[in-house]
Structures are given as structure tokens and as C-alpha cells.
Amino acid sequence: MSESLTMPAHVAVIMDGNGRWAKKHGVPRLSGHKAGMEALKKIVRRSGELGIDYLTVYAFSTENWKRSEEEVGGIFRILVYYMEREIRELHQENVKVNILGDYSIIPEAARKAVADAVEKTKNNTGLQFNIALNYGGRDEILRAVKKIAGEVRDGKRDPEDLKEEDISAALYTGGMPDPDLIIRTSGELRLSNFLIWQCAYSEFYFTDTLWPDFDEKAYEEALQAFTHRKRNFGGR
């Protein structure tokens, strides 16, 4: 792929299809999640190489707690393994790890691994790698509204002066640009409560490819498609 093309500054990915990949290959669902983590490594690395500023991935939603205890526990064990194994390389590549969502309630080992990664990479200036963890778009907006409402109650804000930018600033993504491109794998055509405030003018790219099979070539095809979109942001 020609790296002279204008890359999106912020790419967000709904990593879907791990379970279907496992079923297709006749292996346990957790094997699909492990394969998905390997795919993620490739996409993070390629994003950094292409000069993308922000990569946000939907790792675990507020709704995912409804899955079986075995699967949820396995997902977090895989997360711990990924963080502990990859953090050194991410740090060397100047990647900054950031978390979107309330990760205070996830299992202790995962919480510690995530906190350590955030702390270790906090001063890095390369790709910002946002992991949406125990994240839900509506929950994010509700938290922002409660924060702003508290400031109004305390006399720190006049509600008549509120602007869209004030709500954006109160979100987990405060200070970041909205995603230019949102990719969803596995053929599903919905947002599933992901970045629902931030996606107002995002371009969408849907593919039937299951997430564990979404390699660098598939990623570059999505980016290539983005470069041919004309973005008017409501204008003509």
C-alpha cells in the first residue's frame, strides 16, 4: 500500500467474529479469542507503521458480561497474557496505551496488567492505542452528562453556555479527534453501542472477514477504501 495516501488520523475497529471463527475451525470459543488477539497485534503494528495517530478497538463491552462465566474469565486471561507479553514491544515502538471504559470492576489480574501498561507507556508519543474495555457508548454519554450536571449544580457551569464540544470533552475520548473510519468485521452491519457520539461523521467499512482472519492486507484494503471517500461533513 502506498503510504503517501492520506491516512485517517483515527481508526476504530469493532473486532467481531472470534466465536464464529472458532466454530468454523472446530475449536473452542476461547481459541477464537486467542486467534483474534494475534490479529490485533498485526493491526496495531501496521497502524504505527502507516502513521495513524489513534487506533481504538472494541475489546469488551458492557453487554459482554452476559456471556458465560467461563468465556468472560477466559477473555480476561487472554488480555493479561497479551499485555504482559506485548507491553515491552509496544513501549519500544513508542505506542501509548489508553483505556476507554470503566475497568475498575474487571478481574484483578487484568486490572493490574492494564494499569501497568497505561503507566509504562503514558509518556510515549507514537500511536495512541485505545482499548475499549467494559465500554458502552450510552454509558459513556450518561457518565459525561452526570459529570456536567454536577458542575452545573455546583455553579461551575451555566447550562445555557453548554456546547457540543463540552460533551465531547467529558467523554473517555476527550481531547482526541473523532474516528475518521470505523471498521466492523464478520458481516454485521451495526455499531453495537460503540462510539455512538463520536461517529457522527465517521466513514464506515464493513467486511465479511472474521476478525482472526483480518490481516494487514485486509486492513490496508479498508484504508484504501477510505482514501477514495469524499467527506463533506454536511456540506456540498
| Residue boundaries of the structural domains of the chain | 10-227
| Poorest-pLDDT segment among 78-82, 174-178, 232-236 | 232-236
Q: Quick one: pLDDT at residue 222?
A: 98
- Residue 70's Cβ-count burial label (10 Å; 0-12, 13-18, 19+) is exposed
Grid cell at residue 187: 458481516
Alpha carbon distance 60, 131 (integer Å): 9
For residue 4, is pLDDT > 60?
A: no
- CATH code for the structural domain at 10-227: 3.40.1180.10
Q: Return the bridge partners of 98, or none.
A: 130
pTM: 0.94
**Catalytically annotated residues:** 16, 64
pLDDT band at 126 (very low <50, low <70, confident <90, very high): very high
CA distance 85 to 69: 24
State which amino acid sits at residue 163.
K
Q: Name residue, grid cell 472474521.
A: 210
**Predicted pLDDT at 60:** 96
